């Protein structure tokens, strides 16, 4: 199979869809790999590294898209990339379509077969291709929040860990999944006082055992959010409903009642955000202020640490890429229900029910698309 790896073009996105060691594995299996020049430069991987792994370097994204049957990316295709996609191609990347109707329409119009990393789902409900980036985003959320809390950056001037004689900062994490857990771990490490809200009692029990009483856990209700948001120095939004838009759990009223200089970090922004006052930002301009509360809503948070993120992501995606290249997309999805759950778009149809419902498209099941 002919595999294409274009350079990411989202603002300040330095990650790359595949590293040279992954390229070598594909080439050794008889596949051709085309890499856009400088695709790996943001993570310290040169064109020569890819050439030595067996890749062919091409000068433009258009050349890569024209040559490839399978496109491997990191972030959702920008609209000008969608224009280069074809109905005989497979796209394997993060999509987050529920929060991006323009991209969804462009993919539907292209006829491409699009498989989303974030909805590849295991039988136990875990998300093996979202997990590594969720871990990175969770850890970064505390770094970003701590930085934004500094007075010079618009924050309250609170040190999360406090010092002897001064109480630590109050951190509220809404959502006890992968991102929330990693956020809590980082906040605890800094010495903050941490509360996690979640609607799963078994998960709250796991978190209690995991952190050994170093955090407060509370069942997530509207009353709990009402009480805790306004008392917090830093609020982390880490809510996920796979493939669907995030619910708006923190309202404009909550934000207006928060302490001046408090900080909110919305990890859920890729799926529309879980704060009513959230709007997408970039690494170039990561924050804005609403009612004296600093908001950090960068849609590609792991892109801030592209080398770590790329290595973590490609470790997880490579087995699925190898299945797609060796079997073809139909047979790979037939043999792997995890991968079949990732099918979002095929031949002008939306194949993930939550996306179809959110955006108002007719839904065609992945099973029907695969067998067509």
Reference 313, options 177, 166, 131, 57; nearest CA is: 131
pLDDT at 125: 86
Average pLDDT over residues 241-251: 87
Reference 14, options 302, 312, 314; nearest CA is: 302
Burial class (CB in 10 A: 0-12, 13-18, 19+), 219: exposed
Taking each helix axis from N to C end, the angle separating 178-190 and 131-148, rounded to the nearest 10 degrees, works out to: 40
Average pLDDT over residues 198-211: 95
Reference 316, options 122, 38, 32, 45; nearest CA is: 122
Do residues 42 and 70 touch, judged by C-beta distance below 8 A?
no
182 labelled catalytic: no
How do the domains of the chain map onto residue ranges? 2-120+306-371, 131-304
pLDDT at 267: 96
Please determine, for residue 240, whether its predicted confidence score (pLDDT) is greater than 90.
no
The one catalytic residue among 270, 295, 346, 349: 270
Cα 311 from Cα 15, distance rounded (Å) = 9
Average pLDDT over residues 280-284: 94
Please determine, for residue 327, whether its predicted confidence score (pLDDT) is greater than 80.
yes
270 labelled catalytic: yes
* 218 strand-pairing partners: 197
Average pLDDT over residues 32-42: 98
pLDDT at 14: 95
pLDDT tier, 72 (very low <50, low <70, confident <90, very high otherwise): very high
Residues contacting residue 334 through CB under 8 Å, at least 6 positions apart: 340, 370
Query: Is the domain 2-120+306-371 a CATH 3.40.50.720 member?
Result: yes
The one catalytic residue among 31, 96, 182, 349: 96
Distance of CA 33 to the CA centre of its chain: 25
**DSSP 8-state code for residue 152:** G
Average pLDDT over residues 72-86: 96
Tally the C-alpha atoms within 13 A of residue 5's C-alpha that lie toward its C-beta.
Answer: 26
pTM listed for this prediction: 0.89
> For 33-37, 142-146, 241-245, 343-347, which range has the lowest pLDDT when averaged over its residues?
241-245
Does 131-304 match 2-120+306-371 at the fold level? yes
Whole-number average pLDDT of the chain:
96
pLDDT at 213: 85
Average pLDDT over residues 143-158: 97
pLDDT at 27: 98
Percentage of the residues of the chain whose pLDDT score is greater than 90? 94
How far from each other are the two terminal CA atoms of the chain, in whole angstroms?
A: 22
Do residues 239 and 217 touch, judged by C-beta distance below 8 A?
no
pLDDT at 133: 94
Please determine, for residue 242, whether its predicted confidence score (pLDDT) is greater than 80.
no
pLDDT at 244: 78
pLDDT at 29: 97
pLDDT at 243: 74
CATH superfamily, region 131-304: NAD(P)-binding Rossmann-like Domain (3.40.50.720)
């Amino acid at each position: 199979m002919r595999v294409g790896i274009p350079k990411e073009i989202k603002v300040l996105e330095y990650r790359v869809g595949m590293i040279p060691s992954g390229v070598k594995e594909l080439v050794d299996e008889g596949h051709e790999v085309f890499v856009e020049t400088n695709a790996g430069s943001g993570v310290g991987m040169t064109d020569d590294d890819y050439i030595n792994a067996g890749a062919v370097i091409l000068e433009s994204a258009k050349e890569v898209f024209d040559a490839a049957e399978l496109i491997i990316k990191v972030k959702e295709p920008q609209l000008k990339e969608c224009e280069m996609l074809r109905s005989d191609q497979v796209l394997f990347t993060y999509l987050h379509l529920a929060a991006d109707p323009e991209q969804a329409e462009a993919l539907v119009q292209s006829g491409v077969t699009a498989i989303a990393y974030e909805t590849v789902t295991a039988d136990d409900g875990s998300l093996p291709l979202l997990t590594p980036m969720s871990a990175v985003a969770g850890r970064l959320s505390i770094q970003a929040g701590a930085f934004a809390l500094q007075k010079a950056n618009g924050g309250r001037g609170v040190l999360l860990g406090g010092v002897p004689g001064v109480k630590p900062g109050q951190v509220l994490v809404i959502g006890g999944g992968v991102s929330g857990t990693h956020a809590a771990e980082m906040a605890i490490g800094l010495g903050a006082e941490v509360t996690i809200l979640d609607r799963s009692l078994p998960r709250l029990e796991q978190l209690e055992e995991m952190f050994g009483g170093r955090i407060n856990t509370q069942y997530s209700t509207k009353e709990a959010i009402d009480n805790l948001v306004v008392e917090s120095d830093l609020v982390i939004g880490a809510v996920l409903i796979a493939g669907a838009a995030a619910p708006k759990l923190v309202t404009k009223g909550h934000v207006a009642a928060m302490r001046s200089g408090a900080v909110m970090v919305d990890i859920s922004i890729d799926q529309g955000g879980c704060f009513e006052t959230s709007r997408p930002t970039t690494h170039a301009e990561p924050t804005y202020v609403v009612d004296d509360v600093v908001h950090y809503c960068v849609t590609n948070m792991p892109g801030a640490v592209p080398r770590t993120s790329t290595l973590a992501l490609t470790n997880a995606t490579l087995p699925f890429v190898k299945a797609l290249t060796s079997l073809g997309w139909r047979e790979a999805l037939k043999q792997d229900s995890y991968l079949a759950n990732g099918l979002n778009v095929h031949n002008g149809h939306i194949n993930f029910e939550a996306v179809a419902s959110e955006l108002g498209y007719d839904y065609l099941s992945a099973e029907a698309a695969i067998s067509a």
